[in-house]
Amino acid sequence: MQQLLLGQTLAFAADPFATPPEGAAIHDSRGGVLVENGRIAAFGHGPDLRRAHPRAAVTDHGEALILPGFVDAHMHYPQTGIVASWGKRLIDWLETYTFPEEARLADPAVARQTAALTLDLALDHGTTTLLSFCTIHEGSADAWFEAAEARGMRVAGGRTCMDRNAPASLRDTPQSAHDESARLIARWHGRGRATYAITPRFTPTSSPAQLEALGALWAAHPTCLMQTHLSEQTDEVEWVRRLHPEARDYLETYDRWGLVGPGAVFGHAIHLTPRERARLREAGAALAHCPTSNAFIGSGLMDLAGLRASGIPVGLATDTGGGSSFSMLRTMAAAYEIAQLGGHALHPAQLLWLATEGSAAALRLSGVVGRLAPGAEADLVVLDLASTPAIAQRAARAGTLWEAVFPTIMMGDDRAVRAVYVGGRRVRPA
């Protein structure tokens, strides 16, 4: 049966980083999205769609704004239980919080419970697609994909690989990392809405032999993603330099093993050299901007405007639990604040694009999710632009669409999420 969703609609006709942002979007105050068989069948002016499809079941969201569901390009579902833990930088965070928490997911029941909770929290905040690190345990990746499959969600993820500089209980070997990842690829990659991501945590915890094995695995399965971390903090960069004095820079420690190219998603990428920027652009690799995490653990200011101007794909990400919020609205607000500190005022169109089409492109899902267009999967979020008294009073004075949307970006949370659709099925409110 066809469904027709009515409300304000906002779609992008162009990349707002490549064209004037005010003209990159198409807004209709009386828009409509026609959904059929889990996909967007048509998109346009609501009254026109209603006349053309008189038998469609109609849901009228009034003045609320219909957008593609948010896409989180980098997060750690095993860290849900330690989100907003106090006072650590990256290496301390790993040793004090992350590694002990990830060890708990050796228990399949804990992994299943954590994966279910994470995805439910994501849906509560309007996020319908996520790329997540799992843990060293093969069952943690199974739990992630099983929970997503039960909810009909499109997700990506992978078993985290570490064979050095980690507790013994969380270390593997180059061979076991390769073989268990290969089994998971066979089990999950391309099954339903699942994408597998080959996942070395980062250079300090993966030996050259392990990176070589994972590079070979990616070469054998090039439609998979590859996710890892890059240049998050200055002390991390120095650690890599001490471990690999032969490398010109951090990126080269991945590149020499075939782990830089289309489908590679590098989290953070704050402290890049000019050579690394040029190589990322040349290789077609993508970056995930994690602004709440970068502020929370004092990592630094990503040069988002400069990276986008140079043509490097960038998506937006919560990085939970190093990031301090499950909300992509809060993440957009943090991206705005981080950019301001770097001397750039991101336009609301750019922020919304990063959280939808930008992140989808980083995950090689352009046109699949993150877009209001015929043929795209019908993962949608409906935002109330007057969800709290503070937001409502500011939005009431708005003279333009962007003035109406920006208060929700800066002050909104899960209260702004009026409805969420996954594959055309309404899942929030349940």
Provide the CATH number for the domain around residue 147.
3.20.20.140
Could you report the per-residue pLDDT of 87-98, keeping only the tens digit for each? 777 788 888 899
pLDDT the model gives residue 420 = 98
| CATH code of the domain covering residue 402 | 2.30.40.10
pLDDT of 175 above 80:
yes
Mark whether 222 and 331 lie in a shared domain. yes
Among the three residues 336, 362, 388, which one is the final residue of a domain in this structure? 362
Could you report the per-residue pLDDT of 387-430, keeping only the tens digit for each? 999 999 999 999 999 999 999 999 999 999 999 999 999 999 97
pLDDT the model gives residue 430 = 76
Among the three residues 362, 380, 401, which one is the final residue of a domain in this structure? 362
Give the global pTM: 0.97
For residue 295, tell me if it sits in a domain. Answer: yes
pLDDT tier at 1 (50, 70, 90 boundaries)?
Answer: confident
Q: Are strands 3-12 and 25-36 parallel, antiparallel or unpaired?
A: antiparallel
Mark whether 336 and 415 lie in a shared domain. no
Count of other CB atoms within 10 angstroms of residue 79: 24
Mark whether 109 and 254 lie in a shared domain. yes
Among the three residues 362, 391, 418, which one is the final residue of a domain in this structure? 362
Q: Which domain holds residue 87?
A: 79-362
pLDDT of 263 above 80:
yes
pLDDT the model gives residue 339 = 97
* Contact between 33 and 332 (Cβ < 8 Å): no
Could you report the per-residue pLDDT of 201-245, keeping only the tens digit for each? 999 999 999 999 999 999 999 999 999 999 999 999 999 999 999
Mark whether 65 and 12 lie in a shared domain. yes
Mark whether 51 and 155 lie in a shared domain. no
pLDDT the model gives residue 63 = 97
Mark whether 84 and 55 lie in a shared domain. no
For the beta sheet containing 3-12, the strands, ordered from the edge strand earlier in sequence to the opposite edge, are: 39-45, 25-36, 3-12, 57-68, 380-383, 417-422, 425-428
d(CA 29, CA 10): 9
pLDDT of 6 above 90:
yes
Looking at every residue in the chain, the average pLDDT score rounds to: 97
* Contact between 147 and 134 (Cβ < 8 Å): no
- Counted domains in the chain: 2
Mark whether 98 and 238 lie in a shared domain. yes
Residue 61 CA: distances (Å) to CA of 9, 125, 228? 10, 17, 39
Mark whether 293 and 409 lie in a shared domain. no
Mark whether 195 and 323 lie in a shared domain. yes
pLDDT the model gives residue 92 = 85
> Which one, of 146, 143, 148, 172, lies nearest residue 160 by Cα?
172
Report percent pLDDT > 70 for the chain. Answer: 100
pLDDT the model gives residue 78 = 97
Q: What separation, in Å, do the N-terminal and C-terminal C-alpha atoms of the chain show?
A: 19
Q: Which of 90-99, 121-130, 332-341 has the lowest mean pLDDT?
A: 90-99
Mark whether 290 and 329 lie in a shared domain. yes
Cα Rg, the chain, nearest whole Å:
21
Mark whether 43 and 188 lie in a shared domain. no
For residue 352, tell me if it sits in a domain. Answer: yes
For residue 74, tell me if it sits in a domain. Answer: no
